[in-house]
Amino acid sequence: MPVMACCVDSAVAPPVHADAGDTSIPSPVPFLSSNAAAVTAAVANSESSHWSPAHSSAIYRIDEWGAPYFSVNSSGNVVVRPYGTGSLAHQEIDLLKIVKKSLHSAFESAIQAQCYESHYQGVYPVKCNQDRLVAEDIVKFGAPFRFGLEAGSKPELLLAMSCLCKGNPEALLVCNGFKDAEYVSLALIAKKLALNTVIVLEQEEEVNLVIDLSNKLSVRPVIGVRAKLRTKHSGHFGSTSGEKGKFGLTTTQILRVVKKLQDSGMLDCLQLLHFHIGSQIPSTALLQDGVVEATQIYSELVRLGACMKVIDIGGGLGIDYDGSKSGNSDLSVSYGLEEYASAVVNAIRIICDRKSIKHPIICSESGRAIVSHHSILIFEAISATVNTPAMNQIDLPLIIEGLSEDARCDYWNLSDAAMRHENETCLLYADQLKQRCVEQFIEGSLRIEQLADVDGLFDLVSKVIGAAEPARIYNVNLSIFTSIPDFWSIGQVFPIVPIHRLDEKPEVRGVLSDLTCDSDGKIDKFIGGETSLLLHELEGNDGGANGRYYLGMFLGGAYQEALGGVHNLFGGPNVVSVLQSDGPQSFAVTRVVPGPSCADVLRMMQHEPALMFETLKHRAEEFHVEDHDNDGTNYATLISSLARSFHNMPYLKALSPCSYEEVHNSATEFGASEDEQWSYCYA
**Residue-wise DSSP of 613-680:** HHHHHHHHHHTT--SS-TTS--HHHHHHHHHHHHHS-SS-----S--HHHHHHHHHHTT--HHHHHS-
Rounded CA-CA distance 673/638 in Å is 15
User: Are residues 173 and 195 in contact, defined by beta-carbon separation less than 8 angstroms?
Assistant: yes
Strand partners, 98: 4
Question: 620-625 contacts: CB < 8 A, separation 24 or more?
Answer: none
Is residue 269 annotated as part of the catalytic site, yes or no?
Answer: no
Strand 223-226 to strand 16-18: parallel, antiparallel, or no bridges (unpaired)?
A: unpaired
Rounded CA-CA distance 118/352 in Å is 12
Scored b (16 or more CB within 10 A) or e, 136-173 reads bbbbebbbebbbbbbbbbbebbebbbebbeebbeebbb
Q: Which amino acid is at 119?
A: H
Environment class of 640 (CB within 10 Å of its CB; exposed 0-12, middle 13-18, buried 19+):
buried
User: Are residues 295 and 345 in contact, defined by beta-carbon separation less than 8 angstroms?
Assistant: no
Angle at the Cα of 67 (from 545 to 592), degrees rounded to 5?
A: 45
Task: Choose, from 165, 517, 658, 681, the residue flagged as catalytic.
Answer: 517
N- to C-terminal Cα separation, the chain: 36
Rounded CA-CA distance 166/174 in Å is 16
User: Are residues 572 and 650 in contact, defined by beta-carbon separation less than 8 angstroms?
Assistant: no
Rounded CA-CA distance 462/424 in Å is 10
- Which of helix, strand or coil describes residue 575? strand
Distance of CA 155 to the CA centre of its chain: 22
Return the beta strands (E) in 144-253 as ranges.
Answer: 148-151, 172-175, 196-201, 223-226
Angle at the Cα of 524 (from 323 to 487), degrees rounded to 5?
A: 70
Minimal CA–CA distance to 385: which of 546, 499, 535, 552?
535
DSSP 425: H
**Residue-wise DSSP of 370-398:** HHGGG--EEEEEEEEPPPPPPGGGS-HHH
Q: Which amino acid is at 159?
A: L
Alpha helices in 274-390 (DSSP H): 284-303, 337-354, 367-371
Catalytic residue ranges? 517
